[in-house]
A = this chain, B = another copy of it.
Amino acid sequence: MFEHQRHKPPRILARPRELLLVCAPLRSNINLSRIARAASCCGLDEIFCTGPAKLERRIARDGADTIRIVSHRTLPPVLTKLKKEGFRLVGLEQTTGSIDIHHYAFERKTALVIGNERTGLTSQELDLLDDVVEIPVWGMPFSYNVATATAMALYEYCRQWPEG
């Protein structure tokens, strides 16, 4: 009835994605590499990182070739620049005023801002955001791994903008 189609051709975007990922310095290049693989699969071609950011090929796979890692020293100037370029700055955190992602309509031109595994985004970074979205949690350990949460948020954006 069902037969494997392991090399099914990917979807073609009608226009380039206008979703940007912006990452605070992450503790783990494994998490960054997992994020890069998922982002590349979703059709993104660039991740803005902070600090020393290096992809591990065994995790990111061919995503390591297709996704460009652009490193910056700190996040706030990047966020200010993207804001000027018309991106809506959306953090992925649990904060006061954060919106349940199930009920959030992403603008097409969005920069999704990802915090550090332990410390999240700084208050200076949070102050620059337009919105914060959170993914509902029902059980222990009451927080998703950063790469898992990012994958879920990428999924939701792509569900809302399947054509790019």
Q: Which residues of A from 1 to 36 have beta carbons under 8 Å from B?
A: 1-8, 10-13, 17, 34
Quick check: A5 and B98 within 8 Å, CB to CB?
yes
A141 contacts across to B, CB distance below 8 A: 37, 40-41, 61-63
Quick check: B6 and A148 within 8 Å, CB to CB?
no
Quick check: A142 and B10 within 8 Å, CB to CB?
yes
Report if A137-B2 is in contact (Cβ < 8 Å); known contacts: A152-B151, A152-B152: no
Q: Which residues of A from 70 to 88 have beta carbons under 8 Å from B?
A: none
Nearest CB to that of A35 among chain B residues? B148
Quick check: B140 and A63 within 8 Å, CB to CB?
yes
Counting from the closest, the 6 A-B pairs by CB-CB distance are: A43-B138, A62-B141, A61-B141, A2-B95, A62-B140, A152-B155
**Contact residues of A with B, CB < 8 Å?**
1-8, 10-13, 17, 34, 37-38, 40-45, 59, 61-63, 65-66, 91, 93-98, 102, 120, 123, 126-127, 129, 132, 134-145, 147-148, 151-152, 155-156, 158-159, 162, 164
Could you list 30 A-B pairs, sorted by A, with CB under 8 Å?
A1-B127, A2-B93, A2-B126, A3-B95, A3-B126, A4-B123, A5-B94, A5-B98, A6-B94, A8-B134, A8-B142, A37-B144, A38-B144, A38-B145, A40-B141, A41-B137, A41-B140, A41-B142, A41-B144, A43-B139, A45-B139, A59-B145, A65-B140, A66-B139, A102-B159, A102-B162, A138-B158, A147-B148, A148-B148, A152-B155
